[in-house]
Amino acid sequence: MAFLVINKVNKAFGKTIAVQDFNLELQKGEFVSFLGPSGCGKTTTLRMVAGFETPTSGRVVINGEDITNKPPNQRDVGMVFQSYALFPNMTVAGNVGYGLRIAKKPVNEIKKRVDNMLDLTHMSEFGDRYPYQLSGGQQQRVALARALALSPQILLLDEPLSALDAKLRVSLRSEIRAIQQELGISAIYVTHDQEEALSISDRVVVMNNGAIEQVGSPFEVYNFPQTSFVANFIGTLNTFSAEIIDPEQCTLKVGDQTLAVVHDLSAKQRGEYVSIAIRPERINFASADQNNNLLEGSIKSVTFLGSIVRVLITCGDNMLCMDIFNNPYLELPKTGQHVQVACPREAVLVLDK
Amino acid sequence: MASTKDRKVVEMNTFAGLRKLPLWSWIWFILGLLYFVLPLYGTLDFSLRMQRDVIGLKAYHMAFADKAFWQTFGYSFFLATMTIIVSICLIVPTAYWIRLRLPEARRIVEFITLLPFVIPAIVLVFGLIRLFSSPITLPVAGIVLLPPLTNTVFGTNVLMVAGYMVLGLPYIYRSVDLGMRTVDVRTLTEAAESLGANWYTIILTVILPNIRASLLSGALLIFAIVVGEVVLASFLGIKTFGPYLLLLGQQRSYEPAALSFTTFLMTWAAMGIIQKISGGQGHVAGAH
Amino acid sequence: MTENTLPPPKVRVLNSKIGRWLGIVPFFIFAFLFLLWPSFRLLIGSFTDNQNHFTISNIIQLFTVPTIRDAYWLSIRISAVSALGGGLLGFLLAYSITVGGLPRVIRSALITFSGVASNFAGVPLAFAFVATLGRTGFITAILMRVFKLNLYDLGFSLYSFAGLSLVYMYFQFPLMVLIVAPALDGLKREWREMAENLGASSLQYWRDIALPILLPSILGAIILLFGNAFGAYATALALAGGTLPLITIQIGEQIQGDVMHNMNLGYAMALGMVIIMAISLAGYSWLQQRTERWLK
């Protein structure tokens, strides 16, 4: 049995349904992110694992023990809040050691454990400081140390990096991941930042409107989104409505141009419309010998973004976004230029809904 | 949409355990409510029992029939009005000037406006009466700069208004300053200046209308202070409402209760208006 | 420096350094005449004798003359008792409307009540309590009729230390509500959740986190309540006349007639009050800053 089981969990606040039919199994040592827009129920789900909310129905089981109705102070889970939630009246060491003091551990054991945790989070020099004397990033390190001090069975992180600036976010997230892997602890990480979720997780749970849209490795949810919500929420995407020309040959018509896909369309009818999606980095200028899966249009704008160059192409009624890698010897395409672009057949995704 | 929803949800459930049974909260609340209401009920009940075995408004009739009541109350009203007008004329330009041109004076002026908190009213009155009941002379030649204010009716009125202004200073200054901060007078002024308005026009047509809510709440607080004030008036021998009520309390029993209840209703009305217009915290004033 | 062809900028009077200060001269004149000068006179007067010579004997007499010393002590005690009592009740009320889980309607109603009650003081307040707990007050009467209990036989009197404290508490506890409710609002729910998460019980949370965080605000508010009661005069006068010799009542007598035959002693008594007030308000602002530092 999995280490953490969230089974058929529903949560309603009055008439609002916050989470519906949430099922997830988490292995020991696994790092899972809940990703979705704010209000999608990811935080509520996390709070049900922590015990701050009780599910309306369903069960939460950790390590074989049903904890659905256990009060939060008996759950043995570590928590890190977005707002750090450090106790302002205690020093850094006091904060980290608070749980151990509540558990009535011997003083020297507390001290040793606190030192260990501060070492782990590179905060050893700050043990005597008060939270107001620390920067946001430092405070979050302390909050992490505090959550880990009790060696919880599972670590819950509720948008821990959202209040920090971009650079710090990137460095701290890899640190969190490294610590998690070092300790081999299971973790749930709530975020609305797709890049964060993709870079840090073993698996990503994409949520929308209280329900799970897709669960999979970062690679899977990015490359093979199952729903248009996932496709649109993660990364930049071109989506078109396309008319099926031939279900057997898997050919579609976008505007008056034809595309072929690898998706099995045999269940569909000719003339039916489907949503298709193409990642901008999968599109390229067509070379002379290519005559498959071509789209034509004129360049509307060219934006230099550093490592990539983003080209917007007016393609019939649609707008096509194409990313090409930067290259100092590359001649940037010109606005108004008429171009032909190609995308491989397998790059065109047909979305289920 | 959801972050607010999320927060609301969280708020509702933060103290779920307590929410189920906020018994103690209710007990404290009811205790506080009783403390608040019982004396008022007592006053009302008492004031309605002037006639034996009859509940009636006789005490109110008697109290309002007294000419001295109208005279003293009218006088207090007059003094309150004067105090409010002069205070506004003094404080609005000062606060405006500090905000706009003289931010370095903020600390000292704020300190001065808070002094009446440190100096109890009775001490201040003591000092005022001692200072202005004798002539103020130039130390060198013995030239009289100012005859004793307390010798003339006008001088006494001036002293009263000045004294009330000092007592109300912390409230009116804070109120006006806060109003100016919330409407951002600097930007308003610059906008008006760019349209060619002069200072006088700016204050009268731009600043005053925009801070009228804070002016009104400051004015009502001053009104509450002046109408209830006893110390300054009684030591200057002025017959305002406060000393009148005090004296009436020594001579009669039902009418003072009736007037006390009326005063309470007025305080309630004034504070109610302030709450309504400021929407925030109640202020603290009063002639304790 | 040679091409000084531009005309020198026209300096408007009101833009020069001195000119700008002219703008608040009326305020300073007013403050000087009616606030600073009288206060200064009190200060000087406290240190002069009848022959206009410097002396500290007035100050010494504050501590040595029994009536004055007792008056200060009585004022201090009554202010402290009403501040602590009002502070406690006010805190519990503020608790019940913030984190205590009472509905929001109750909260706004109570805040409005508090605004009114903290301003309802002086003579009318004294009369209200006479009508309630005086010898013929309605609670006294009910206790007599229903429980055959005579409060005044049991040693209670509205015109005593306990009675006046009870009256003062009427404007003290609402003030406490107004000051402490925002501080209670400042308790982040995450602190409580975090404490729970780390295994703390509700009691442990209050003992280890909430109360230590609130303590500066609570103490500061109680100091403010102390000052609020310490300067009170009209309420005590209307309630007990001269029977409770508070320091304010003593100064009042000093103003009306020179009872001590030494006006300068009166100044010193007033100065003593100012000093006590100044110390308590300094304490208040120190605690205030401490809280802000923590919670910034």
Determine the topology of domain B25-287 in CATH: MetI-like fold (1.10.3720)
Share of chain C above pLDDT 90, in %: 42
Q: Is residue B279 scored above 60 in pLDDT?
A: no
Contact list in A for residue B16 (CB cut-off 8 A) is 54
CB atoms within 10 A of CB A8: 12
Residue A299 pairs in a beta bridge with A313
Chain C residues touching chain A at CB-CB below 8 Å: 188, 190-191, 193-201, 204, 208-209, 212-213, 293-296
CA-based nearest residue in chain A for residue C190:
A85
State how beta strands A31-35 and A203-208 pair: parallel
The set of chains that have 3 or more CB pairs under 8 A with C is A, B
Q: Is-contact C26 B98, C-beta < 8 A?
A: no
Average model confidence (pLDDT) across chain C:
86
SS3 B37: helix
A168-213 pLDDT, tens per residue?
Answer: 999 999 999 999 999 999 999 999 999 999 999 999 999 999 999 9
Confidence (pLDDT) at B270: 80
Q: Is residue B21 scored above 70 in pLDDT?
A: no
Enumerate residues 6+ apart whose C-beta is below 8 A from C66: none
Which of B118, B133, B199, B253 is the best residue to mutate to test the C interface, defined by the most C CB atoms within 10 Å of its own CB?
A: B118
C64-295: which CATH architecture? Orthogonal Bundle (1.10)
Would you call C191 and A87 a contact, using CB atoms and an 8 Å cutoff?
yes
CB atoms within 10 A of CB B210: 17
Mean of pLDDT values over A320-344: 87
C116-156 pLDDT, tens per residue?
Answer: 888 778 889 999 999 999 888 889 988 988 888 888 888 88
Would you call A13 and B9 a contact, using CB atoms and an 8 Å cutoff?
yes
Chain C within 8 Å of A50 (Cβ-Cβ)? yes
Domain ranges, ordered by start, for chain B: 25-287
Chain C within 8 Å of A150 (Cβ-Cβ)? yes
How big is the A-C interface in CB pairs under 8 Å?
69
Chain C within 8 Å of A103 (Cβ-Cβ)? yes
Residue A284 pairs in a beta bridge with A342
Contact list in B for residue C187 (CB cut-off 8 A) is none
Share of chain B above pLDDT 90, in %: 26
Confidence (pLDDT) at C155: 84
C27-52 pLDDT, tens per residue?
Answer: 999 999 999 999 998 899 899 888 88
Chain A within 8 Å of B9 (Cβ-Cβ)? yes
Q: Is residue B8 scored above 70 in pLDDT?
A: no
Q: Is residue C23 scored above 70 in pLDDT?
A: yes
Name the residue facing C197 among A50, A89, A90 (closest C-beta): A50
The set of chains that have 3 or more CB pairs under 8 A with B is A, C
- Per-residue pLDDT band for A6 (boundaries 50, 70, 90) equals very high
Nearest to B26 by CA among C113, C214, C92: C92
CA-based nearest residue in chain A for residue C216:
A89
Confidence (pLDDT) at B193: 85
Contact list in B for residue C112 (CB cut-off 8 A) is 271-272, 275, 282
Q: Is-contact A352 A227, C-beta < 8 A?
A: yes
Would you call C24 and B284 a contact, using CB atoms and an 8 Å cutoff?
no
Place of tokens 């707002």: A83
At residue C112's C-alpha, the angle toward residues C111 and C116, to 5°, is 115
Contact list in C for residue B165 (CB cut-off 8 A) is 30, 34
- Per-residue pLDDT band for A36 (boundaries 50, 70, 90) equals very high
At residue C269's C-alpha, the angle toward residues C60 and C286, to 5°, is 95
Q: How far is A105 from chain B (nearest CA, A)?
A: 28
Contact list in A for residue C195 (CB cut-off 8 A) is 73, 87, 98
How big is the B-C interface in CB pairs under 8 Å?
299
Mean of pLDDT values over B86-95: 92
Q: How far is B24 from chain A (nearest CA, A)?
A: 22
- Per-residue pLDDT band for A115 (boundaries 50, 70, 90) equals very high
Which of B9, B14, B15, B18 is the best residue to mutate to test the A interface, defined by the most A CB atoms within 10 Å of its own CB?
A: B9
Mean of pLDDT values over A337-341: 89
Q: Is residue B205 scored above 60 in pLDDT?
A: yes
- Per-residue pLDDT band for B17 (boundaries 50, 70, 90) equals very low
- What predicted TM-score, i.e. pTM, was given to this entire model? 0.81
Which of A11, A38, A70, A162 is the best residue to mutate to test the B interface, defined by the most B CB atoms within 10 Å of its own CB?
A: A38
C183-218 pLDDT, tens per residue?
Answer: 898 898 899 999 999 999 999 999 999 999 998 889
Would you call A73 and C198 a contact, using CB atoms and an 8 Å cutoff?
yes
Average model confidence (pLDDT) across chain B:
83
Extract the tokens encoding C86. 């009002």
SS3 C16: coil
Share of chain A above pLDDT 90, in %: 58
Would you call A89 and C296 a contact, using CB atoms and an 8 Å cutoff?
no
CA dist C126 and C129 (Å) reads 5
Mean of pLDDT values over C268-274: 92
Query: Alpha helix locations (H) across C232-262?
Result: 234-240, 247-256
Would you call A44 and B6 a contact, using CB atoms and an 8 Å cutoff?
yes
Contact list in C for residue A51 (CB cut-off 8 A) is 196-197
B133-172 pLDDT, tens per residue?
Answer: 888 777 777 777 788 888 888 989 999 999 999 999 988 9
CA-based nearest residue in chain C for residue B127:
C38
CA-based nearest residue in chain B for residue A40:
B2
Mean of pLDDT values over C220-241: 89
